[in-house]
Amino acid sequence: MSTLRADPAISTSPNTAATRPWWRRALDVVDDRLGITALTYPVPEHANNIAWSLGGITAAALVLLVVTGILLTQFYAPVPEEANASVRHIVTHEWGMWFVRGVHFWAAQAMYVTAALHLLRVFLTGSYKRPREGNWLIGVAMFGLVIFALFTGTVLKWDQEGYEALGHNVEVANLLGGGGLWFSPDFANRVSILIRLYSAHVVLIPGLIVVLFTLHALLVKRHRISPHPSLTADDESTDAPAAEPVEPFTHHLRRISALGLALLGALGLLAVTFPPPVGPAPVEGIEVIKPMWPFWWMFTLENWIGLSGILYGGGALFTILVALPFIDRNPHRAWRHRRVAMTIASAIVAAIIVLTILMAFTTAKTHLGM
Ligand code: HEM
């Protein structure tokens, strides 16, 4: 019979079964049935660093997005005739929903930022190397889904920004030919593309992220968290050194929950201070709005070489991310011993930042229908 004594923090108690407080015995009863103590497995101390908690913070943002998203779906009407008015109704007439929408809007961007920073941490500490290549690929897929969720979310409000985003969606689909059929309005004659993007936003994308995240977390447990390259003498090792102190995973979970609450506080503050805008219903045939900032770097490319710039830019980034664990054969994990990978990655990050800044100083240009 398992008991909660498997947790070292709890095992210090000298209580026997008879003298244990009622709530401890109640927890034992639950644990016998659900095996909660399995979560007390040891994790190295460095997993609690803020940089190593970024994946957990991303997961916390996902939870906030799902909860606020479920609330929003109660009032949002996903048909072209109603969509824009329903969003404006949500923020003006439904009690407290302006705040829920604000948290959802900022949580989406927070998830994008923390997922990108988590990706960079995994890259910097060489944690995508053997045996974690598969988990890196799962991460890349989740990152793509996060971007797709940002995009579909923008379309849903069906104002000028959303409508122009959809216009890009349709034209990129045309460029892709047969590969883009699902994104084109012709895919289903009787169901508007808004409804299909809505179903992707509320079911397909979050569902896939949850399934992939479950695999991701199981693989982190199976491989154990990668060693901190600066805490180990051998930076080719796949495991943390035996001398590093460990803590039960439940303590790590507690820390991530506290960070998640801090994130909620910050997002709430942003929602109150900078409530997300929603414009009036769109006007066809004009292109006057810049997309959301995570897409700016691709839109600078679009300004330079036309719509295909979005495809080439996004395609190149994801091809490099997918290929990375297979083309980088350097066994070292410390960044000092990985000059080539560091130089290429710095060039890519610098290019994305410069392209983004350039877009900040450019007015929207016309590309659709050209
Ligand atoms: C988008 C949602 C994501 C979530 C919710 C998530 C969550 C997590 C969590 C909780 C961990 C364990 C602790 C940590 O290192 O922070 C982890 C580890 C890992 N993640 Fe992610 N992740 C996401 C995206 C990504 C991306 C974009 C990549 C890379 C392309 C990635 C690759 C990895 C790898 C290789 C590990 C193992 C790292 C190690 O052992 O040090 N993940 N992830």
**The domain made up of 44-286 is a member of CATH 1.20.810.10:** yes
Helix (H, G, I), strand (E, B) or coil at 246: strand
pLDDT tens sequence across 177-217:
777 788 777 888 899 999 999 999 999 999 999 999 999 99
Probe target for ligand 1 pocket from 62, 118, 124, with the most ligand atoms within 8 Å of CB? 118
List C-alpha distances in Å: 19 to 1, 8, 13, 22, 72.
18, 19, 11, 9, 49
Cα 120 to ligand 1 centre (Å)? 10
pLDDT at 367: 60
362, 355 in Cβ contact below 8 A? no
Tell me the CA–centroid distance for residue 64 and ligand 1, in Å: 18
Q: What distance in angstroms lies between residue 350's CA and the mean position of ligand 1's atoms? A: 23
pTM: 0.92
Pocket test for ligand 1, best of 48, 133, 216, 256 (most atoms within 8 A of CB): 216
In ligand 1, the atom with minimum distance to the C-alpha of 54 is: 16
- Per-residue pLDDT for 5 more than 70? no
Which residue from 61, 53, 52 is spatially nearest to 127, judged by alpha carbons?
Answer: 52
Atom 14 of ligand 1: nearest residue by CA position? 55
C-beta of residue 197 within 8 angstroms of C-beta of residue 155: yes
125: three-class secondary structure by DSSP: coil
Q: What is the mean pLDDT of the chain?
A: 91
Residue pair 228/125 in contact (Cβ under 8 Å)? The answer is yes
Ligand 1 centroid from CA 121, angstroms: 9
Beta strand pairing call for 246-248 and 42-44: antiparallel
CA of 342 to the centre of ligand 1 (A): 19
End-to-end CA distance of the chain: 70
Task: Compute CA distances 148 → 225, 329, 358, whole Å.
Answer: 28, 31, 23
Can you tell me whether residue 44 is helix, strand or coil?
Answer: strand
* Cβ–ligand 1 contact at 127 (below 6 Å): yes
CA nearest ligand 1 atom 13, residue: 55
Written as one letter, the residue type at 58 is T
Instruction: Please check the confidence at residue 227 and state whether its pLDDT lies above 90.
Output: yes
Residue boundaries of the structural domains of the chain: 1-40, 44-286
Query: Ligand 1 centroid vs 200 CA: distance in angstroms?
Result: 23
43: left (phi over 0), alpha (psi -120 to 50) or beta: beta
Q: Which letter does DSSP use for residue 203 in this model?
A: I
What whole-number distance in Å separates Cα of residue 183 and Cα of residue 102? 28
- Tell me the C-alpha distance between 329 and 337, whole Å: 12
Q: Which residue has the higher pLDDT, 243 or 259?
A: 259
Indicate which residue's Cα is closest to atom 35 of ligand 1. 136
Residue 32: count of CB within 10 angstroms of its CB: 13
Per-residue pLDDT at 315:
96
CB of 226 sitting under 6 A from ligand 1: yes
User: What distance in angstroms lies between residue 122's CA and the mean position of ligand 1's atoms?
Assistant: 7
Distance 213 CA to ligand 1 centre (A): 9
Distance CA 122, CA 142 (A): 14
Confidence bin at 15 (pLDDT 50/70/90): low
Neighbours of 300 (CB within 10 A): 21
Please give the residue that has the higher pLDDT: either 75 or 280.
75
Q: What SS3 class is residue 332?
A: coil
Tell me the pLDDT band of 233, cut-offs 50, 70 and 90: confident
Where residue 272 falls among pLDDT bands split at 50, 70, 90? very high
What is the reported pLDDT for 366? 64
Taking CA atoms, 191 is separated from 2, 84, 182, 186, in Å, by 53, 18, 12, 9
User: Quick one: which of 321, 270, 310, 347 has its CA closest to 122?
Assistant: 321
pLDDT score at 278:
92
Q: Over range 127-154, report the average pLDDT.
A: 97
